[in-house]
Structure 1
């Protein structure tokens, strides 16, 4: 699970405002080594971790007005690799949040790599208030892990879950990657079966994507790596849907599967338009109307905050952009888009203006109606972005 970039419309905000919900995302921009597929912002130079935590606390203080006093219900440590951060620094950041915000949080998530997890560290996180772990498993196949340049082994993945349960953790999410090029689907079926056998409450799964500035991107450009074709990847997505459903998971967002009562609260709130503050290099924020992002440079981040300024640049959205983002994010979820909200909040009769397109997509079996809410069918989730684009203003 990684940074969702604050894409949301204002309709959900009006519905949820009465609860004064909000979240805080903490981007920890450090990794022990670079995974060959990853294009998120991080550094393998760990020397500035203490200074970074100090400046994250300073940003939390300087931007305390961003969420307009809303209660902080979720905190999410993402990255990067937050599990590399010394526990004293995690304690310092959580303490700053508690001191500066109305922090009656209901969920504190920390992304972790299996090779970082000692029983002592896990117990300390639990004591500090972390109650949910998002484990970067990616695969249970040793050769695939080596190809991805992951630092852990398959056995360490299983051991990490056992250790966490022993110290009292009950909420887990496992990250998995599908679409690794193979002659058949046997590898993916084994990975998925092994993950489900660990009985996590939540699974996040993403297709292997070749990003230009990654090792995979360079290998692909030079002909050293050939990605799987779209049909192969789509078939693996359908296997994921089928097997997770049989095991009691609900696909509440295109890439996220949770058992009843175990949806990731922070993750769900992103897609439902709940405001959140993102701190740390490259972190994104959303205030309920506009979004923005911090500089994606550790050095610049430290320098700017050291001068008592913030590295945040706001992106003011037009009404059409907000509506399109509401459509894009809402359709990806179990709850879909509400045409009454679109009409009342945006002044657009989308149901009438896109009637022919909607009917055509209904005939293809891509859409599901629940009262006046429209969401994607299992088949439609394969085409989520294209379907949303067909409805855009």
Structure 2
């Protein structure tokens, strides 16, 4: 079983915190679609034995596609790949692209059955700080329409933004809960290198990100969503039963996935590949029937470290039997030794789940999951 990720590298404007690959010029959108269709065709021979269970449109801003373009891409996937009978098809969307009921109907008719809404905040002050292309009113209207036409809706929220009080953060959460969305993804604001946000902070125009504020608001989030019946199944993701993201869950559990479009990554269990992060070069190469990608074979150490990183972010944790089976006794003994102090200080716990010993972060350690994981990496 596998998933397909399709990167749409266009946005109407640049968010100040974003370091993903995108362009705010739409002049190459049609040549990009042509190149993407070619990539889907050229790489299909490597997927003959795989059944595709999930198709995920990320970006960038996939909702920038019109109905015809979206249909073209999905028809190409169905033509060249073995797609399951009822695949999860997710499309990331910005509220300012979804202003009419007809747009939702068009998405649904194309086959999209899961909407991922980039809300980020219900306060205009925060949206201006982030340079989002929508305002709070558009955000609320978009969620009203999304939940009217789609059962499976997830929204993104960002906490830890400069000036965001705990009371306003609680208000953000309560507004989201009021719409009954079955899934919420929430992330701490991160200052990425070479972003506008980094430059604003360096110049003193924006206050630095406060780690204590971020951790406090993370705990507010987890308390409120757990009380509301959401399962905290991954560090940044909360879902009602039956509404976990199948695409992202596949990634965290180590399933194969193919990434298409500029900068997209793929994984087949032992090899990772990635496309060039340049729209013009991506287009040029594919129009010449060349794949614009590089790849590397992952070492045992690479695969072990990646499993530790993804496992400790999720409720499934790190299966000690899998460590022994897939990586060897040496790695199991190393993990036991390196995790002993984290077990003693209450950041990690060992649980028996269906007869297997599983290492997981505790509620105390969950916010620190990435740092804990890196302390357990095997270094040659």
Question: Which of the five TM-score ranges fits, normalised by the shorter chain?
Answer: over 0.9
Q: Deviation at 1:368? A: 2.6
Give the structure 1 partner of residue 294 of structure 2. 313
Give the structure 2 partner of residue 26 of structure 1. 6
Give the structure 1 partner of residue 38 of structure 2. 58
Give the structure 1 partner of residue 360 of structure 2. 375
Match of 1:346 among 322, 327, 330: 327
Q: Work out whether 1:81 is the aligned partner of 2:73.
A: no
Q: Deviation at 1:353? A: 2.9
* Greater Cα offset, 181-190 or 139-148: 181-190
Match of 2:20 among 23, 40, 60: 40
Q: Deviation at 1:79? A: 0.4
Question: Alignment RMSD, CA only?
Answer: 1.4
In structure 2, how many angstroms separate the alpha carbons of the residues matched to 1:69 and 1:327?
28
In structure 2, how many angstroms separate the alpha carbons of the residues matched to 1:102 and 1:230?
45
Aligned length: 372
TM-score (norm 1): 0.92
Q: Deviation at 1:131? A: 0.2
Give the structure 2 partner of residue 119 of structure 1. 101
CA contact (8 A) 1:285 1:291 kept: yes
In structure 2, how many angstroms separate the alpha carbons of the residues matched to 1:354 and 1:271?
19
Q: How does 1:246-257 map to 2 (within 5 A)?
A: 246-257=227-238
Give the structure 2 partner of residue 5 of structure 1. none
In structure 2, how many angstroms separate the alpha carbons of the residues matched to 1:152 and 1:95?
30
Give the structure 1 partner of residue 372 of structure 2. 387
Q: How does 1:1-393 map to 2 (within 5 A)?
A: 21-104=1-84, 105-117=86-98, 118-166=100-148, 168-182=149-163, 184-371=165-352, 372-393=357-378
In structure 2, how many angstroms separate the alpha carbons of the residues matched to 1:261 and 1:186?
30
Q: Which runs of 5+ in 1 are unaligned?
A: 1-20
Work out which structure has the larger RCO, using CA pairs closer than 8 Å and 6 or more positions apart in sequence.
1
1:77-131: per-residue Cα shift (whole Å, max 9, x none)?
A: 0000000111101000000000000011420000000111121111011011100
In structure 2, how many angstroms separate the alpha carbons of the residues matched to 1:66 and 1:143?
48
CA contact (8 A) 2:162 2:206 kept: no
Q: Give the direction of change, closer, same or farther, for the CA distance of 1:355–1:342 in structure 2 (3 Å limit).
A: closer
Give the structure 2 partner of residue 15 of structure 1. none
* Greater Cα offset, 334-343 or 207-216: 207-216
TM-score (norm 2): 0.95
Q: Deviation at 1:363? A: 1.9
In structure 2, how many angstroms separate the alpha carbons of the residues matched to 1:384 and 1:67?
34
* Secondary structure of 2:191 counterpart: coil
* Secondary structure of 1:66 counterpart: helix
* Greater Cα offset, 359-368 or 199-208: 359-368
CA contact (8 A) 2:308 2:377 kept: yes
In structure 1, how many angstroms separate the alpha carbons of the residues matched to 2:66 and 2:238?
30
